[in-house]
Structure 1
């Protein structure tokens, strides 16, 4: 795994939204597990399946913590999760995906609009959440479908 150069960032050192940070573009400040964080969108994009249809991945149920979901997915052998972690990143959760969509709608980042993107939040043993970055639609899809992944990073703000 290639970790991000920064492990945290001081609030005073944050750039403006839409500016480079930690190998990507800084898109939002948000709170996760009682810690303020900086969400960073990477340029990397790849595709794959979430998992096997009918198999629940334990620990990938968080609506907000994409990194925890992605780690659980990787432990279950999910190739897209393993690839995201190798980039020092993770697959965004539903919450983080909505923050990415907000940044996209403000013109801070560009995203493929022609296919659904996986989010790391699992809905059931059969479905996981996906987002359409053309209109911001949140939906769920069979886990054995192939979708795009656009990984993110999240740094604690000190």
Structure 2
């Protein structure tokens, strides 16, 4: 199942942005559903379609909660979502993708720039959001396009 052992992080133990944390690189602190969290970019890179064209996945429309979106995608049979969860991470939401882009722009993380990356936020039955990390372009495209996916991990800060 999940390789994730660490479930939370103490505020006093947070490293500087761009430093190693919980199997990846610490991107930033952010708030999600009333809980302060640490966003961590994992080193793994996935590739594949987001899902099936014309099928709306209930629970995959959150702009901010990538973990909920990815869980809904996996339940609907998305191979890249299942792989991300097996790694103890999830596919970033639009918000989380933008936070990763900000860290990239600050020189704190490396992202491939030669293709769009899937985000877990669904736009419609036909399309989902993706991001180009060359310039931070947030876009949406049909779900069956092959795209990269770079999982993240989000830990509550105590």
TM tier relative to shorter chain:
over 0.9
Deviation at 1:94, TM superposition (A): 0.1
Provide the rounded CA distance (Å) in 2 between the counterparts of 1:4 and 1:20: 15
* RMSD between superposed Cα atoms in Å: 0.6
Could you tell me which residue of structure 2 aligns to residue 107 of structure 1? 107
Provide the rounded CA distance (Å) in 2 between the counterparts of 1:61 and 1:34: 18
Could you tell me which residue of structure 2 aligns to residue 121 of structure 1? 121
Q: Secondary structure in 2 aligned to 1:44?
A: coil
Q: Secondary structure in 1 aligned to 2:71?
A: helix
Query: Structure 1: which 5+ residue stretches go unaligned?
Result: none
Deviation at 1:5, TM superposition (A): 2.1
Deviation at 1:96, TM superposition (A): 0.1
Provide the rounded CA distance (Å) in 2 between the counterparts of 1:87 and 1:3: 6
Query: Structure 2: which 5+ residue stretches go unaligned?
Result: none
State the TM-score, normalized to the length of structure 2. 0.99
Provide the rounded CA distance (Å) in 2 between the counterparts of 1:62 and 1:31: 14
Could you tell me which residue of structure 2 aligns to residue 142 of structure 1? 142
State the TM-score, normalized to the length of structure 1. 0.99
Q: Secondary structure in 2 aligned to 1:107?
A: coil
Could you tell me which residue of structure 1 aligns to residue 11 of structure 2? 11
Provide the rounded CA distance (Å) in 2 between the counterparts of 1:51 and 1:75: 11
